[in-house]
A = this chain, B = another copy of it.
């Protein structure tokens, strides 16, 4: 008789974005004349850069002719793209990564979700709190979480590393031994970063304790400050302990095109067994590579024109972030993130709960954001706004919020 993977039953349903959508549509129904501005969801809004579109069309033409048609590609990605990644994302920062350490995929979400398969279910997992929910949920599904404790809002066996104003959003090294450490910097949802010295502590910890760091740098493109590492491999020795996840989603607007990559260095071994080889085995068995057309689109990101065009878009979002950040500060809010990241994390005023603030912001300013508590128990009392809206809406949203005070 067939049995379920019972770990799935331990998953806590997240109603975060569906609850937001429901509240917004109810509000709109009752207030048809109010224009609601949405700064809630972490999705880009600017169109794909012209050079990238051109490459998509060119590669579509290739697919239309027998001589240039491409069937199955390498599961790990085409060399033309892997070589560009090595050259532009790493060599320019004096990091030596070989092209067969790069695994092109259809999303950092998939990769950060799938990577845990390589490890024993007995390993202890550490995540920040608040956190991007994928890291947690995929470990629940795999059976590493233990049971959910309704009182604490936490799973028994997961080590939660609180990040909050009191510790300047720098996770502290856990007292208990941990094996798999998820770090996302620039951080989603808080928009905060670690500098090189702070990140080095984690690399050192991982080395000493034979732990592995899963480093999600999907928001790397937004970094402006010099001492903030774009890659964990800027830290000496990180290749022996860290896997890095990158994405074209937020840097080049690929959320709807789907392309990302993961770096698994050959130095990374457990008991002499290469994780690069294991991940290669995983990908060749369970994945069939990214669409040729989308890989050609990603390749165009690295051309001179492509770089210019995507940087304009990032600049646009960054200016939105500045407007939100400075506007909120001048309105008396306490604000975090938003400098090296597209997310602004604000302290909810007057000891309100995150959801109370959500309701107030929606009803009084007609602005939608994301309650911090949706990202974990320590997100309570915080609120996320994103810089991905358009300029006019962003300016107006902040003006409305200012009037609230």
Contacts of A2 in B (CB 8 A): 119-120, 123, 179-180, 210-212, 270
Are the CB atoms of A8 and B258 closer together than 8 Å? no
The copy count of this chain in the complex is 2
Nearest CB of chain B from residue A390's CB, rounded to whole Å: 8
Contacts of A8 in B (CB 8 A): 118, 278, 281-282
- Judged by a CB distance under 8 angstroms, whether A15 is at the interface is no
Are the CB atoms of B47 and A4 closer together than 8 Å? no
Are the CB atoms of B118 and A5 closer together than 8 Å? yes
Nearest CB of chain B from residue A315's CB, rounded to whole Å: 16
Contacts of A255 in B (CB 8 A): 71-72, 288
- Closest B residue, CB atoms, query A136: B285
Are the CB atoms of B256 and A73 closer together than 8 Å? yes
- Judged by a CB distance under 8 angstroms, whether A6 is at the interface is yes
Nearest CB of chain B from residue A276's CB, rounded to whole Å: 13
Stretch at the interface among A108-116, A229-237, A338-346: A108-116
Q: Which of A274-333 contact B (CB under 8 A)?
A: 278, 281-282, 285-294
Q: Which of A118-141 contact B (CB under 8 A)?
A: 118-123, 133-134, 137-138, 141
Nearest CB of chain B from residue A327's CB, rounded to whole Å: 23
Are the CB atoms of B48 and A64 closer together than 8 Å? yes
Q: How far is the CA of A120 from the CA of B8 in the complex (A)?
A: 10
Nearest CB of chain B from residue A402's CB, rounded to whole Å: 27
Give me the interface of A with B, judged by CB distance under 8 Å: 1-6, 8-9, 11, 41, 43-48, 50, 53, 56-57, 60-61, 63-66, 69-73, 106-107, 109-110, 113-114, 117-123, 133-134, 137-138, 141, 177, 179-180, 209-212, 253, 255-258, 270-271, 273, 278, 281-282, 285-294
